[in-house]
Chain A
Amino acid sequence: MPESLAVAPPERDALLSQKLEWALDRLPERMRKVLILHDVEGYTHDEIGELLGTTAGTSKSQLFKARGKMRVLLKDLDSSESSVSRNDGKEIEAWSI
């Protein structure tokens, strides 16, 4: 599990949001739209299909791929942070990689 998602007390909310935004920005446009519409804004696949001019099935497929890609991006980010933390004991700047 990505360490960044395991705990989210209030003081870490901003950092968690930054990480999520960072990963969202790296998704292909099509995946990002579907992921935001479904997981962030709560639209159903039928509604997303109507909004984006596709089918609910395509929306689902794009969502699953987007979730997978997000997870890889966040894991990579956590790995980079851990590596930097081990090397110099400093907090990594999320946008630097």
Chain B
Amino acid sequence: MEHLTQDTLARLVDERPNPDERDHIKTCRRCAEALRAFRLQSEALGGLPALRPPPGDWESLEARLVSEGLVRTTETFRRFGFAAAPAWMQAAAAIVVFLGGTGFGLTLTNAATSDETPESMSLPVSQVSSAEEAVRAVELAERAYMQSLARYRQWTGGSDGPRAADPLSLLTALEGLLAASQEAVRLAPADPVFNGFLVNVLAERQEVLRQISTSGDDVWF
């Protein structure tokens, strides 16, 4: 019997060999070693974080998230896979930075796309003393998030090209945003910005999942 092909060896990583293949592997050291190498390769891949590292300056982004108070340590950040996120997730994470800079104070000084002045959208949490003010704070948080989401859509769907139309990439980006917002809520459970952020990320994620489930005939790549 000739040596097993690369495709066959790759298949046998997670499928049972037929009798001929099994007999060959028992007697052919070369194919047995090749199969072992394939299995080690797949095991090693399984040990990678689910998201992949970017070529950009991720450390500075991490440091900024810590300085903004969104996460306490870079270890927390890494635990959610952000330290190993692909380059296109930097835009998504930048939204977290944006909200991180506004979240604890609700001062939307970075809301450049807003029709309102930053001052009119500013409502520090410490000044919330009534239900009406709390509602207003949540509304502001909601608006801040939607602005950030609009930027996110612009960044991921703008001039970056093919990724814009790729729901899988968008879904993965949203998974990153979801992890960040869940962590933010864990760290600041009473913060309306982060809670609004989490709810909207979940809604957006659900919408992308719906699009994926209803576009079975589309090929994205």
Which residues of A come within 8 Å of B, CB atoms?
A: 1-2, 5-6, 8, 13, 16-17, 20-21, 24, 29-30, 33, 35-36, 39-42, 50-54, 60-61, 63-65, 67-68, 70-71, 74
Give every chain B residue within 8 A of A42 (Cβ-Cβ).
46
The answer to whether B41 and A52 touch across the interface, beta carbons within 8 angstroms, is no
Cα distance, A17 to B53, chains bound together (Å): 10
Picked from A2, A53, A63, A68, the residue with its CB within 8 Å of the CB of B6 is: A68
Range class of the B interface residue count? 20 to 34
Interface 1/0 per residue, B34-78 and A, CB below 8 Å: 101110111011111010110000000000000000000000000
Chain A, interface SS category: helix
The answer to whether A71 and B6 touch across the interface, beta carbons within 8 angstroms, is yes
The answer to whether A40 and B48 touch across the interface, beta carbons within 8 angstroms, is yes
The answer to whether B44 and A20 touch across the interface, beta carbons within 8 angstroms, is yes
The answer to whether B42 and A39 touch across the interface, beta carbons within 8 angstroms, is yes
The answer to whether B215 and A20 touch across the interface, beta carbons within 8 angstroms, is no
Chain B, interface SS category: helix
Give every chain A residue within 8 A of B42 (Cβ-Cβ).
39, 67
Interface 1/0 per residue, B200-221 and A, CB below 8 Å: 0000000000001101111111
20 residue pairs A–B, Cβ–Cβ below 8 Å: A1-B34, A2-B40, A6-B40, A8-B47, A17-B48, A21-B53, A29-B221, A30-B221, A35-B45, A36-B52, A40-B46, A52-B168, A52-B220, A65-B10, A67-B38, A67-B42, A68-B6, A70-B41, A71-B38, A71-B41
